[in-house]
C-alpha cells in the first residue's frame, strides 16, 4: 500500500463543540457509527453520531480516564480507581448503569487510571498516573482480560502514561510517559502479559510538545496528539516524521480514525492549561476536531472479550 498521504492542504474543522475541560480517549464505534470520548475532569462520557447529528453525554461517579469497546456491545470504562462495564444503549433517563469488573490501586490515593486501549487480542491495556503535584513516577501499566483478570505489565513506573496502542498483529505496543519528549515501543505478548525489548520509537522535536494519545493506522504509521503544541504528528514505521498537522487549539489530547469509510481523523482536545487570552483566541478548545483524509486509513478498534 502506498503510505504517502497528501495532507499539505488539510483544514481541520470543529466536529463537536463539546468544550470539555479535559477531553480524552476518543474512539470510533463502527457498530453505532459513533464517536465516544471522555471529559476526565467533568467525570462525563460523551457520544456523537455524526450521520444522525446527535450528541449525548452522561455523568459518572468518578473521573473516566479511558474506555474501550467490548464484543458484547458494552463499553469498558476506566474510572479513577476501577474498571466497569456499561451499556449506553440501555441508559435510563440519562443515567448509566455500571458493573464493576476490578479495583485498580484501590489502596493508593495518589494515582488514577489514565490512558488505555484494547490490544489486538481482546484485552484492555492501560496506565495509572501520578496525582502528586511533583509528578512523581508512581504510576504503572496493566492488562485486564476476562480470562486472567488484572495483571501488571513489567514496564518502568510512569508519571503520566499515554500513547497506548498496538500494531496490526498485536506484537508491538507503543506507549509513553508524557513528562518525557519521546514515544516508546516494546515487544508485547498478550497471552502472558509479558513485555520485552523496550526502546525509543520516536523523539518529539518541539520543546512545547508533550506526547499524548496515539493511534496506529492501516499503513502501520502512528498518529500522536501533542499536548501544548497544537498539532498531530504522523510517524513512519522507523519513527521518522511523515506529516505534521497543525490544529487551532493548544492542547490536542488523543486521536482516532473513523467515519463510515475510515477516512476521517478525529482529535479530542482540552480547555485546561489555557490562559483566558488563549481561550479567547481558540474558542474550539475542548471540542472534537476532524480532518478529512484522502483515503481510508483507519483500522476498526479491537474489542474486549469478557469471557
Whether 4 is covered by a domain: the verdict is no
Strand-pair partners of 151: 143
The Cα–Cα gap between 122 and 143 comes to 10
Across 89-103, 134-148, 194-208, 225-239, least confident range: 89-103
In this prediction, residue 3 has a pLDDT band, given cuts at 50, 70 and 90, of very low
Structural domain range at position 178 = 13-292
Across 5-9, 46-50, 124-128, 170-174, least confident range: 5-9
Per-residue model confidence (pLDDT) at position 94: 80
Per-residue model confidence as pLDDT tens digits over 114-146: 999 999 999 999 999 999 999 999 999 999 999
Does residue 5 carry a pLDDT above 70?
A: no
Does residue 8 carry a pLDDT above 60?
A: no
Whether 255 is covered by a domain: the verdict is yes
Whether 1 is covered by a domain: the verdict is no
Per-residue model confidence (pLDDT) at position 228: 98
pTM of the model as a whole: 0.96
Whether 6 is covered by a domain: the verdict is no
Task: Write out the H or E segment, with its range, that includes residue 241.
Answer: strand 241-246
Q: Count, in order, helices (H) and strands (E) of the chain.
A: 1, 24
Residue 104 near residue 81 (C-beta atoms within 8 A): yes
Whether 300 is covered by a domain: the verdict is no
CA 203 from centroid of its chain's CA atoms = 19
Residue 181 near residue 132 (C-beta atoms within 8 A): no
Does residue 110 carry a pLDDT above 90?
A: yes
Strand-pair partners of 269: 252
CA torsion through residues 127, 131, 133, 136, sign: negative
Per-residue model confidence (pLDDT) at position 7: 58
- The order of strands in the sheet holding 99-103 is 64-69, 75-79, 82-86, 99-103
Does residue 56 carry a pLDDT above 60?
A: yes
Query: What average pLDDT does the segment 105-112 reach?
Result: 97
**End-to-end Cα separation, the chain, in angstroms:** 36
Residue 17 near residue 267 (C-beta atoms within 8 A): no
Q: Residue 83's domain is classified under what CATH number?
A: 2.120.10.30
Per-residue model confidence (pLDDT) at position 1: 40
Per-residue model confidence (pLDDT) at position 255: 98
CA atoms within 13 A on the CB side of 96: 25
What's the grid cell of residue 129?
498516573
Whether 7 is covered by a domain: the verdict is no
Query: What average pLDDT does the segment 135-158 reach?
Result: 97
In this prediction, residue 307 has a pLDDT band, given cuts at 50, 70 and 90, of confident
Whether 54 is covered by a domain: the verdict is yes
Closest to 212 measured CA to CA, from 17, 22, 15, 19: 22
Q: How many domains does the chain have?
A: 1
Whether 298 is covered by a domain: the verdict is no
Amino acid at each position: 500500500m502506498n503510505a504517502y498521504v497528501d495532507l499539505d492542504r488539510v483544514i481541520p474543522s470543529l466536529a463537536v463543540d463539546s468544550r470539555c475541560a479535559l477531553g480524552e480517549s476518543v474512539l470510533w464505534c463502527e457498530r453505532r457509527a459513533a464517536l465516544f470520548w471522555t471529559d476526565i475532569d467533568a467525570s462525563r462520557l460523551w457520544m456523537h453520531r455524526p450521520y444522525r447529528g446527535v450528541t449525548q453525554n452522561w455523568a459518572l461517579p468518578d473521573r473516566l480516564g479511558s474506555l474501550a469497546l467490548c464484543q458484547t456491545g458494552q463499553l469498558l470504562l476506566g474510572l479513577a480507581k476501577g474498571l466497569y462495564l456499561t451499556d449506553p444503549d440501555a441508559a435510563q433517563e440519562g443515567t448509566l448503569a455500571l458493573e464493576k469488573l476490578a479495583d485498580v490501586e484501590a489502596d493508593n490515593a495518589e494515582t488514577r487510571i489514565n490512558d488505555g486501549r484494547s490490544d489486538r487480542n481482546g484485552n484492555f491495556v492501560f496506565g495509572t498516573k501520578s496525582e502528586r503535584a511533583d509528578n512523581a513516577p508512581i504510576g504503572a501499566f496493566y492488562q485486564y482480560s476476562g480470562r486472567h483478570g488484572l495483571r501488571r505489565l513489567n514496564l518502568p513506573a510512569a508519571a503520566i502514561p499515554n500513547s497506548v496502542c498496538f500494531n496490526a498483529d498485536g506484537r508491538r505496543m507503543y506507549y509513553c510517559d508524557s513528562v518525557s519528549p519521546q514515544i516508546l515501543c516494546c515487544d508485547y505478548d498478550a497471552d502472558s502479559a509479558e513485555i520485552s525489548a523496550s526502546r525509543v520509537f520516536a523523539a518529539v522535536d518541539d520543546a512545547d510538545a508533550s506526547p499524548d494519545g496515539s493511534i496506529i493506522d492501516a499503513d502501520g504509521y502512528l498518529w500522536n496528539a501533542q499536548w501544548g503544541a497544537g498539532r498531530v504528528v504522523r510517524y513512519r514505521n522507523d519513527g521518522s516524521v511523515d506529516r505534521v498537522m497543525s490544529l487551532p487549539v493548544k492542547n490536542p489530547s488523543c486521536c482516532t480514525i473513523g467515519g463510515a469509510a475510515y477516512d476521517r481523523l478525529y482529535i479530542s482536545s482540552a480547555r485546561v492549561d489555557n490562559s483566558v487570552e488563549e481561550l479567547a483566541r481558540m474558542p474550539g478548545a475542548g471540542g472534537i476536531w476532524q480532518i478529512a483524509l484522502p483515503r481510508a486509513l483507519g483500522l476498526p478498534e479491537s474489542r474486549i472479550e469478557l469471557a
